[in-house]
Amino acid sequence: MAQRRCWRWSAAAAVGSAGGCGRCARRLAKKRLRRDENGGAKAGAKDECSSPPTVMPDYHKLEVWVLACELSDRTDRLAGELGSRIRAHTADQLCRAAEAIHENIAEGCGFRSDRQLAKYLRQARGSGDEVQDELETLERRGLILPGFEDLLPKCQVLCKKLARFIDAVDPPPATRRKRKDPG
């Protein structure tokens, strides 16, 4: 049977943060030692984490938050250097969407609920997609300045990491295949 771990363990592994849930790691190591002579789990020993979800310790340590802050700072510099070459609305929208990514991650980490954390992570992912679309538009129009060519790939990486973080916190329900009719 595959071992289940709490969302803190999975989320830390999904976004590249070191450590994971130390309580779960210690508890699972002890459970592995509690086996009967045939190698099976003893009565009452579960192979899953029973840690109650708690507030995410510190969003500053999350790789996705750090990447989102870097992306926000760089897009703000790009918008400032582009100046009058783009409409003020486009620059404002790009900067606000980039800032919303790290703000939603931080806000979601303050809740004691996996559901609320996942909600804010999804909002951050939506803002990431919006930034990606704006950067693709600027690239299509030839407005990405030298030194900012790496913004779009970094945004794509951030969106992928956010997607993995969301799946770790709130995994999608398993889908069952429909049986084919034999007749």
pTM: 0.69
Output the pLDDT for position 3.
45
Q: How high is the pLDDT of residue 18?
A: 46
When pLDDT is cut at 50, 70 and 90, the band that residue 112 belongs to is confident
Q: How confident is the model at residue 99 (pLDDT cuts 50, 70, 90)?
A: very high
What does the domain layout of the chain look like in residue ranges?
Answer: 59-169
Task: Decide which of 1.20.120.1690, 3.30.830.10, 1.20.1440.60, 1.10.3130.10 is the CATH code for 59-169.
Answer: 1.20.1440.60
Residue 178 vs residues 55, 133, 183: alpha-carbon distances, Å: 39, 37, 15
**Average of per-residue pLDDT across 4-9:** 53
pLDDT in tens, 160-176: 999 999 999 988 887 76
pLDDT digits (tens, 9 = 90+) for 15-69: 554 445 555 555 555 555 555 455 555 554 454 554 554 556 689 999 999 999 9
- Nearest CA-CA partner of 151 in 165, 164, 138, 141: 138
The alpha carbon of residue 144 and the mean position of all alpha carbons in its chain are separated, in whole angstroms, by 27
The average confidence (pLDDT) of the chain is: 79
pLDDT tens digits, 58-70: 899 999 999 999 9
Q: Quick one: average pLDDT of 140-145?
A: 93
